[in-house]
Amino acid sequence: MQRNATTQYPILLVHGLFGFESIGNIALFHGIKQALRQAGARVFIPYLSATHSNELRGEQLLAQIDRVLAGTGAAKINVIGHSQGALAARYAAAMQPKKVASVTSVSGPNHGSELADYLRKALIPDRLPEHVAATVATLFAEFLSLLSGHPQLPQNAIAALNALTTESVGTFNDKYPQGLPNTWGGTGKELVNGVRYFSWSGILKGSLVDEGPNLFDPLHSLCRAFSRYFTTEAEENDGLVGRYSSHLGTVIRSDYPLDHMDTINQTAGLVRKGVDPVDLYVQHAERLRNLGL
C-alpha cells in the first residue's frame, strides 16, 4: 500500500553528538530520508557541529532553517531531532516559533543524560585526563566533519559534554521549557506558541544473550556497556538516554525495544526483528500530515 507522508511543511532530520548526514555510502539516518521522500515528504538534513553546545548548534540550525524556507518557499519547518539534535530543535523553536511547525524529539536527553553526568565527574576539569579526552574527541569530530564535507564547522567536545549533563540541561530547560512535562515521567503540552511537540524513544530490554542476531551488533553492545552507568533509570534507558528523560510534549512511546542508535536505524534493519525504526518516521510524518503540518 502506498504511504502518504506529504506534509505541508518540509522535514528536517537533525543529528546529535558526533553526527553527520553521510560519509561515503554511510548515512546516519539510515534509509529514513529515502523512505520519507518515497512517501511524499520533502526532507533535508542540516549540517551542525558534531560536538558543541546546545545553543551554538541551535543557532546553526536556525540559519539552515532559513535556507530551507528560502529554497522551498515554505512558511515553516517540521524538525525531528535525534539525541542532542532534539535540544537544538527545541532551542530553534523557542527562539523562532513562527518558523517551526513542530518539534519531535527522538531519544533526546530532554532532562540530561546520566552517562554524561558520569563522564563529567570522571573527567575532572583542568586535570590531564580531561585535556586528553577533549583533544581526542574534538579531533575525531573534526575528522568526521572533514569526511562529511563540512570541515569549517567549529568543534568543542567539552562544551558538548557539559551541555548534556542533567545540571546543564536543567539550566537549558529553565530558559526553554516549551513542551516539557511538569512531572517526572509525564507528558508535556503538545501545542506551545503555535509549535507542536512530540517525542519517542526506546529502552534496552532483557540481556545481551537474549538479543539473537543483535548480539553481534557492536553499537548495541556499546549501548549495553554504557547502560551500566545509569542509576536513576537503571532499567529504563537506551544506553545513552533514560526513558523518562526523553519525554517531551506528546509522548508517542518511550519503551520501544530499541537502543539509542537503533532509533536512527543504525544496523537495526540488518539484525533487529519486530519494530521497524524507519516506519516510525513514516508513521510520524503521516501523523503530522493529518494535523495539517
pLDDT tens string 105-151: 999 999 999 888 877 776 666 555 555 555 555 554 554 455 455 66
Stronger pLDDT, 3 or 182, i.e. the higher one? 182
Q: What confidence category does residue 189 fall into, taking pLDDT thresholds of 50, 70 and 90? A: very high
Cell 563540512 belongs to: 150
Q: What is the pLDDT of residue 191?
A: 97
- Look at residue 95 and tell me if it is in a domain: yes
Identify the pLDDT of residue 269: 52
Inside any domain, residue 139: yes
> How do strand 250-256 and strand 195-202 relate by DSSP bridges?
parallel
Q: Span 32-56, mean pLDDT? A: 91
For the segment 67-86, the average pLDDT, to the nearest whole number, is 96
- Mention every residue, 6+ apart, whose C-beta is less than 8 A from residue 135: none
Whether 35 is covered by a domain: the verdict is yes
Give 95's pLDDT tier (boundaries 50, 70, 90): very high
**How confident is the model at residue 23, as a pLDDT?**
53
pLDDT digits (tens, 9 = 90+) for 46-73: 888 878 899 999 999 999 999 999 999 9
Worst-scoring range by mean pLDDT, 9-13, 50-54, 143-147, 229-233?
A: 143-147
Residue 201 phi/psi, 5° resolution? -165, 180
Looking at the domain assignment, is residue 4 inside a domain?
no
Grid coordinates representing 192?
506551545
Which tops the pLDDT comparison, 2 or 186?
Answer: 186
Nearest Cα to Cα of residue 179 among 93, 121, 261, 264 = 93
pLDDT for 133-143, tens place per residue? Answer: 555 555 545 54
Position 147 scores a pLDDT of: 47
Domain of 86, CATH number, reads: 3.40.50.1820
Using 50, 70 and 90 to split pLDDT, how confident is the model at 266? confident
Question: Is 268 exposed, middle or buried, given 0-12, 13-18 or 19+ CB atoms closer than 10 A?
Answer: buried
Q: Per-residue confidence at 218, pLDDT binned at 50, 70, 90? A: confident
**273-288 pLDDT tens trace:** 678 899 999 999 999 9
- Please, which pLDDT band fits residue 261 given cuts at 50, 70 and 90? confident
Beta-carbon contacts of residue 82 (< 8 Å; ≥ 6 apart):
13, 14, 15, 16, 19, 29, 106, 107, 108, 263, 264
Domain that residue 225 falls in: 11-290
The residues that are catalytic are 83, 238, 260
More confident residue, 157 or 69: 69
Q: β-strand 43-44 against 22-23: which pairing, if any? A: unpaired
Mean pLDDT calculated for residue range 160-186: 93
- For residue 6, tell me if it sits in a domain: no
pLDDT-wise least confident of 37-46, 116-125, 151-160, 218-227? 116-125
Amino acid symbol at 29: F
Which residue in 169, 176, 13 sits closest to 97, CA to CA?
A: 176
Q: How confident is the model at residue 210 (pLDDT cuts 50, 70, 90)?
A: low
% of the chain residues with pLDDT over 70 = 79
Query: Residue 22 pLDDT > 60, yes or no?
Result: no
**Per the domain annotation, does 1 fall within a domain?**
no
In the chain, the N- to C-terminal Cα span, in Å, equals 22
Distance of alpha carbon 212 from alpha carbon 233, whole angstroms? 25
> For the chain, what is the domain count?
1
Whether residue 191 lies inside any domain: the answer is yes
Instruction: Note whether residue 79 is domain-resident.
Output: yes
